[in-house]
């Protein structure tokens, strides 16, 4: 790990202007202040400095936003044809693409991630997702069903939008998480109230401005930044919300489920992970080392699918651990807007404290850091990329989601050993397998309990490929046609002829 001091990329004038005013709530197509008049600050996590002030929604504003979403759902939005919805989503994608640099800078400043990553990953993946989902609008179909009840019936299904949807998202990929949720909801014909994470509200708010520009009717998308315990909880419990879609911690996911019971709204959840990344004895070692480092260090380990438990066949263990540790030590930490930066800070002082607590607990339970192991520097929320060895299955660092650049490395002997160890977790989001043996790849892919299994690659996402979790990693899937299914209800119509 290294730090380089060089100059920061100049902020685009549009970014400077966006940050210069308190950002308001988007409700019913209007930008309004919170009824309470309250605002909160969003910080640059590399320096701790205030980036912008944001109006803070609470239950009263959430109520207004839900009313606006309901009015749009019952009104102008339901009158559009599927192809009109498609064109709006494609126009939105075009606008987002045209503003790539502005969105990438806002994301880098607010979240801390390297600007280059936001430019080549976050924004283009978001654009792609809107384009892909735009294509679905005209392909949401029912079936005709032959009934054994008699030949004198015509039965068919309709797929209808679920209705008003609450979407609550985290801070690790602020724009992309908003788009993963908005795209299928809008394609299916739902209207939305979206609450961004308190740490990173900026790109969702900027995106909010593009809906009017693209021509969406007022109230189809409402954006209400605020805190989880107030705005988020009010949204999850709201009696006129038909579905809540949440991404974040498993702990809060359980609160969302409880809050949803009042009106039994539909719930989809994308939660935490402790994903196993398995290097078999026949793997291409250099490829596996690079893959293992990428799997844990991408986005500073703040990925729900982070390959945070590295299982390596005993004959390659030392070589792979040394390789990943060497890569960890070379990663250049710095401000996201510094073009030399490969890893930025964690998102907040809270996350810094959480991750360093995990590091301390690992060492006190007997783990050893082959690389990293501590905070980096005294300013900003930086943590050293860390590889922990001498770890045991019962340790907190092995069992719990750290959500930072920290991997635990475990040797194994046989395929059976490793698939049991890989599944020894409450989570089941992602998994990686590194092997040249196709038969092993397929056998292991079938045994690992995870929503996505990558073989000889990691962190490959595509708008067409379903994503979500087994076990306590979630309910339902995002992306692909599965996401559309979860934003629609099936209605059977049965006619006696």
Mind telling me the catalytic residues?
A: 270, 304
463 Cα distance to chain centroid: 13
C-beta of 469: minimal distance to ligand NAP in Å? 9
- Residue 247 binds what, of ligand NAP, Mg ion, none (CB under 5 to 8 Å, by partner type)? ligand NAP
Residue in 117, 207, 223, 252 binding ligand NAP, rule: CB under 6 A: 252
- Which of 194, 391 has the CB closer to ligand NAP? 194
Give yes or no for residue 358 binding ligand NAP (CB under 6 A): no
Residue 255 binding ligand NAP, by CB under 6 A: yes
86 binds Mg ion (CB under 5 A): no
The widest CA-to-CA distance across the chain, in whole angstroms, is 78
Q: Yes or no: say if 175 and 203 are a contact pair by the CB < 8 Å rule.
A: yes
Query: Per CB under 6 A, does 178 bind ligand NAP?
Result: no
Q: Is the dihedral of CA 95, 15, 119, 43 positive or negative?
A: negative
Q: What Å distances lie between residue 435 and 286, 307, 461, CA to CA?
A: 12, 16, 20
Stretch that binds ligand NAP, among 31-39, 72-80, 246-254, 380-388 (CB under 6 A): 246-254
The answer to whether residue 382 forms part of the interface with ligand NAP (CB under 6 A) is no
The backbone region for 402, taken as left when phi is positive above 0, alpha when psi lies in -120 to 50, beta otherwise, is: alpha
The distance of closest approach from Cβ of residue 199 to ligand NAP in the complex, given in angstroms and rounded to an integer, is 6
203 binds Mg ion, rule: CB under 5 A: no
Which of Mg ion, ligand NAP, none does residue 90 bind (CB under 5 to 8 Å by kind)?
none
233 binds, among ligand NAP, Mg ion, none (CB under 5 to 8 A by kind): ligand NAP
Distance of alpha carbon 202 from alpha carbon 198, whole angstroms: 10
The residue from 12, 249, 361, 423 that contacts ligand NAP (CB under 6 A) is: 249
Q: Which residue is closest to ligand NAP by CB?
A: 228
- The listed partner (Mg ion, ligand NAP, none) that binds 172, CB under 5 to 8 Å by sort, is ligand NAP
Site string for ligand NAP, 389-418 (x = CB under 6 A): ------------x-x---------------
Q: Decide if residue 58 touches ligand NAP (CB under 6 A).
A: no
Residue 451's nearest CA partner among 487, 410, 411, 482 is 482
Q: Which is nearer to ligand NAP, 133 or 178 (CB)?
A: 178
Q: Binding marks (x or -) toward ligand NAP, 181..220, rule CB under 6 A? A: --------------x-xxx---------------------
Residue closer to Mg ion (CB basis): 111 or 129: 111
168 counts as binding ligand NAP under rule CB under 6 A: yes
Is 42 a binder of Mg ion (CB under 5 A)?
A: yes
CB of 139 to ligand NAP, least distance (A): 28
Decide: is 240 part of the binding site for ligand NAP (CB under 6 A).
Answer: no
Under the phi-then-psi rule, with left for phi > 0, alpha for psi from -120 to 50, and beta for the rest, what region is 496?
A: beta
Pick the binder of ligand NAP from 163, 189, 272, 372 (CB under 6 A): 272
| Strands laid side by side in the 488-496 sheet | 144-145, 153-161, 488-496
102 binds Mg ion (CB under 5 A): no
Tokens of 335: 């401000």
* Residue ranges binding Mg ion (CB under 5 A): 42-43, 110, 199
* Residue ranges binding ligand NAP (CB under 6 A): 168-172, 195, 197-199, 227-229, 232-233, 236, 247-249, 252, 255-256, 271-272, 304, 354, 401, 403
């Amino acid at each position: 790990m290294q730090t380089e001091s060089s100059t920061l990329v100049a902020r685009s004038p549009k970014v400077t202007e966006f940050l210069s005013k308190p950002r308001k709530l988007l409700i019913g197509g209007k930008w309004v202040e919170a009824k309470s008049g309250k605002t909160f600050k969003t910080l640059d996590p590399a320096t701790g400095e205030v980036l912008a002030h944001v109006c803070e929604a609470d239950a009263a504003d959430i109520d207004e936003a839900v009313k606006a979403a309901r009015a749009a759902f019952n009104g102008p939005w339901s009158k559009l044809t599927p192809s009109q919805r498609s064109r709006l989503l494609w126009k939105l994608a075009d606008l987002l693409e045209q503003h790539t640099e502005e969105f990438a800078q806002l994301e880098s400043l607010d979240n801390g991630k390297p600007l280059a990553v936001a430019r080549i990953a976050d924004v283009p993946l978001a654009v792609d997702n809107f384009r892909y989902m735009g294509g679905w609008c005209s392909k949401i179909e029912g079936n005709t069903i032959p009934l054994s009840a008699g030949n004198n019936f015509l039965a068919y299904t309709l797929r209808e939008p679920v209705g008003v949807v609450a979407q609550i998202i985290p801070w690790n990929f602020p724009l992309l998480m908003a788009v993963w949720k908005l795209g299928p909801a809008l394609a299916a014909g739902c209207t939305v109230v979206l609450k961004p994470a308190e740490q990173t509200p900026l790109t969702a708010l900027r995106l909010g401005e593009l809906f009017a520009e693209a021509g969406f009717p007022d109230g189809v998308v409402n954006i209400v930044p605020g805190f989880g315990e107030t705005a988020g909880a009010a949204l999850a419990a709201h009696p006129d919300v038909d579905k809540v879609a949440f991404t974040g911690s498993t702990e809060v996911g359980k609160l969302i489920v409880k809050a949803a019971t009042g009106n039994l709204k539909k719930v989809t959840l994308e939660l935490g992970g402790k994903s196993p990344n398995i290097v078999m004895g026949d793997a291409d070692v250099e490829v596996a080392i690079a893959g293992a480092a990428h799997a844990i260090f991408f986005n500073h380990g703040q990925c729900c699918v982070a390959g945070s438990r590295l299982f390596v066949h005993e004959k390659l263990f030392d070589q792979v651990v040394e390789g990943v540790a060497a890569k960890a030590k070379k990663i250049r930490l710095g401000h996201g807007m510094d073009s030399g930066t490969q890893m930025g800070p964690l998102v907040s002082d809270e996350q810094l404290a959480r991750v360093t607590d995990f590091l301390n607990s690992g060492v006190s339970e007997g783990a050893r850091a082959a690389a990293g192991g501590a905070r980096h520097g005294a300013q900003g929320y930086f943590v050293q990329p860390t590889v922990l060895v001498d770890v045991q299955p019962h340790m907190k660092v092995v069992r719990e989601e750290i959500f930072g650049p920290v991997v635990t490395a475990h040797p194994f002997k046989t395929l059976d050993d490793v698939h049991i160890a890989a599944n020894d977790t409450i989570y089941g989001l992602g998994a990686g397998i590194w092997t040249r043996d196709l038969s092993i790849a397929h056998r292991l892919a079938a045994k690992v309990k995870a929503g996505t299994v990558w073989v000889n690659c990691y962190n490959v996402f595509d708008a067409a490929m379903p994503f979500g979790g087994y076990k306590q990693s979630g309910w339902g899937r995002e992306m692909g046609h599965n996401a559309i299914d979860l934003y629609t209800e099936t209605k059977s119509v049965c006619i006696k002829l």
